Amino acid sequence: MPKIYICKRLNFEKSGDFMHTKRAAREIALGLRSVLTREEHEEKSRKIHSIITALEEFQKARTVMSFLNFRDEVDTTLLAEKIIESGKHLILPRCAPEGVLIPAEINDLRIDIEPGKWGIREPKKENLVTANPEDIDLILIPGAAFDRQGNRLGYGGGYYDRFLNRLRPETPKIALAFACQILPEVPVDPYDLRIDALVTEEGILWFKSSSYQT
C-alpha cells in the first residue's frame, strides 16, 4: 500500500516541492481518509453531524445548502434528511457544464435525486427547482484537504470556488471533513476562497467570525 507508506513517512514541516502541489496534497489527504475503517467512518460522521446540528448557525438558518457524500467523504445523507425534517429548505448542488454549480431545492431524497457526473448523487435534471444563492443562510462544503489557516483544496473542478462568490458575504461557509484531511499547509491559488470554519470529528475550527457569533 504505497500511498499509505508515503503519508506516514512524509515530514510535513520540511517538505519541499512535493508538498506544494495540489495533486500531492490531495493524494496525501485522500490517502489518509481512504484507510478509515467502516466503523471509524460511521462514528466520526456521527460526531460531525452532532457538531453541525448543535451550531447556532445551523439552528437559525432557514435555507441550508449541503452536499451528498461520495465515496468515502463524511456521510451527509442523514444530515440532509435532518434538514428536511426540521422544516428547513434543503439545497443541493448539481454540476453543469463549464464548472457551473446549480443550487436546487430538494424535498425528498428518495425521488428528487439521481446519479450525476462521476456518479455523485445530485438533484434530478427533470423538474429542477433552482434556488437563488442569495437566499442561502448556511452552506456546508466538501473538500479533499484543508489546513488550519482556513485554506481549502477541492477536487480540481473549481465548482465551489466559482459558486461561493454568488452567496451573500455574511453567509457562513463551513466545510466538513475528517481530521486526517487537515494538513500543515495546502497549496492555493489567488482565486481559491478561504472557508469560514471547518468541522471534523474533533470539533470546529473557526477562521472568521460568524455573523451569528457575539
Q: Does 138 carry a binding-site annotation?
A: no
DSSP, res 123: E
Q: Is 157 annotated as ligand-binding? A: yes
Q: What is the mean pLDDT of residues 168-181?
A: 96
Long-range contacts of 46-52 (CB under 8 A, 24+ apart): 47/201, 48/74, 48/176, 48/178, 48/199, 48/200, 48/201, 49/75, 49/78, 49/79, 49/82, 51/199, 51/203, 51/204, 52/79, 52/140, 52/174, 52/176, 52/199
Q: Is 73 annotated as a binding residue?
A: yes
**Can you tell me the distance from the alpha carbon of 163 to that of 109, in angstroms, rounded to the nearest whole number?**
23
C-alpha–C-alpha distance, residues 146 and 29, integer Å: 8
Question: Residue 66: how many CB atoms within 10 A of its CB?
Answer: 23
Residue 3, marked binder: no
156 is in an annotated binding site: yes
CB count in 10 Å sphere of residue 56: 12
Q: How far apart are CA 164 and CA 159, in angstroms?
A: 9
Say whether 212 counts as a known binding-site residue: no
Q: Is 23 annotated as a binding residue?
A: yes
154 annotated binding-site participant: yes
For CA atoms 83, 205, 42, 24, the dihedral sign is: positive
Distance between CA atoms of 194 and 161, rounded to whole angstroms? 9
pLDDT at 191 over 90: no
CA–CA separation, 201 and 115 (whole Å): 28
Is 99 annotated as ligand-binding?
Answer: no
Q: Does residue 128 have a known ligand-binding role?
A: no
Q: How confident is the model at residue 10 (pLDDT cuts 50, 70, 90)?
A: very low
158 in a labelled binding site: yes
Q: Which domains are present in the chain? A: 2-206 (3.40.50.10420)
71 is in an annotated binding site: no
Convert the pLDDT of each residue in 64-103 to its tens digit: 999 999 999 999 999 999 999 999 999 999 988 877 899 9
Judged against a pLDDT cut of 60, whether residue 195 lies above it is answered with yes
With a threshold of 0.75, does the pTM exceed it?
A: yes
How many CA atoms, within 13 angstroms, populate the side-chain half-sphere of residue 197? 24
Residue 11 has pLDDT above 70, yes or no: no
